[in-house]
Each structure stands twice: as C-alpha cells, then as structure tokens.
Amino acid sequence: MSVPEEHLASRRSLKSRDTRWAHALAGWLVRSGVSPNAISVLSVLFAGGAMACFMVAGDQSSTAGILGVWLGALACIQLRLLCNLMDGMVAVEGGKGSAVGAIFNDAPDRVADVLIMVGAGYSGAGDPGVVKLFHVIPMGWCCAVVSVWTAYIRVLGASLTGKHDFQGPMAKQHRMAVLCGGTLIELTQHLMGWERWGILTALSLIFFGGLWTCWQRLALLAQALRAGEKPSV
C-alpha cells in the first residue's frame, strides 16, 4: 500500500536511516511480516519498561540491582528510539504503510515521552540529595508536558502551513540523548555512593531547552503566517 503524503511529510531527517544495519534490520522486519503500526505500539512498551526501571532505581542498594535498573532504563530508551526508526522504514522503504499509519507514527510517541520523563523524575524519590532548586519528581512531570507541547506545536504548524518543524535544541532525539547522559552520570554516582544529581540536571536541561524550542517553533510559525503562507487544507 502506498504511504500517505502526510506520513512522508512528518518524517524526521535521520542519518541512521541511511546506515547499512538499519536497512538490514528493516528488511528483516518486512520479511517477518511485522507491521509498522505494531512497531509503533511496541515503542510504548519499551517506554513503559524504562519508566519501571527508573521508578525502582532509587530503592536499589546492591551493585547488581543498581546496574540492572539503570542499564535497563538506558536499554529501553534506546529500543524505543529503534522502534521509532524502524516503524517509518518498514512503512516507507518496506512499502507496508497503511491509511492510519500517520496516527500510529505520532500518537504513541506522545505516550512514550510522558512515560519516560515521569519515570525519570521518580528515579530520585527518597534521595534527599537531589532536592536543590527544583525537586526531581515535579521536574519529570514538567518535562513530560514540554515534550508533548513541542510535538503539538510541530503538528499545529503542519496543519497551518503544511510543513513540520523538527528544530531543537530539545527535539525528541535531543531529549533522549540528554536523558541517557544523565542516566549514565546517575548510575556512576549511585554506584560510588555520591550525591546524585545526574537525572535532575538532565531533566532541567530538557525542560528549559524544551521551553526554548517551543518558543522558537512558535516564533517561526508566526513569522511564516505573517509572511502570507496559506493554511493547508
């Protein structure tokens, strides 16, 4: 089935899409009969796995437990991103797109963002060392809201101008990269018994960077509308 133009227009430009391993994996998924919509739903399950790992991370005291939950969260985030890459490649390059593909391409991402960000916030529960300018739990919720807002502004812009704006500095891939970096720092701090601030720092960067991203996208959208770009029908 041909891929709707809306789905093609909403594709983010990714260098990883042109790699040999990505094409090999996408080809295997196509031959296996896996639908791109199922891959999109699977990304939410991995996001839920990351949330589960984050939420029990603060309770771990053994080396095995600390390594298991923090590395588990990292793995689930990366698998979520892999699903985000594969669903589009299977749909477009594999020719398995559907009429509702654009819905599955975007809607599950919003759920995944919320699960991961909220879970990351609760990773610091019970650790008094992370209570600084902002407490890590509400910061996780704030990042969840900003993550959804950046995507909403992108889709709003597409509905008005027909163009998707993927600019950062805290688009999805940037948010996940910063969070993974914070997770690695937090893992090290947890293992060494140091004061833990890795996740709080990462979430703070995501929140304030996300606010800036939203402002930039809204400003460019307003500029485009003032320049006379007609809303798409």
pLDDT of the residue at 230: 55
The residue whose two tokens read 């992108």 is 154
Per DSSP, the three-state class of 98 is coil
pLDDT value of residue 12:
64
Residues 233 and 217: their CA atoms lie apart, in Å, by 21
Show pLDDT as tens, one digit a residue, over the chain (233 residues): 444 454 445 566 666 777 889 899 999 999 999 999 999 999 999 999 999 999 999 888 899 999 999 999 999 999 999 999 999 899 888 888 888 888 998 999 999 999 999 999 998 765 655 444 457 888 999 999 999 999 999 999 999 998 888 888 999 999 999 999 999 999 999 999 888 889 999 999 999 999 999 999 999 999 999 987 554 43
Of the candidates 134, 142, 83, the one whose C-alpha atom is nearest the C-alpha of residue 117 is 142
Please name each of the domains of the chain with its CATH number: 5-226 (1.20.120.1760)
pLDDT of residue 13: 64
| pLDDT at residue 59, rounded to an integer | 85
- Backbone phi, psi, residue 164, to 5°: -95, 135
Global pTM reads: 0.88
What is the structure's pLDDT at 168? 81
φ and ψ of 155, to 5 deg: -70, -35
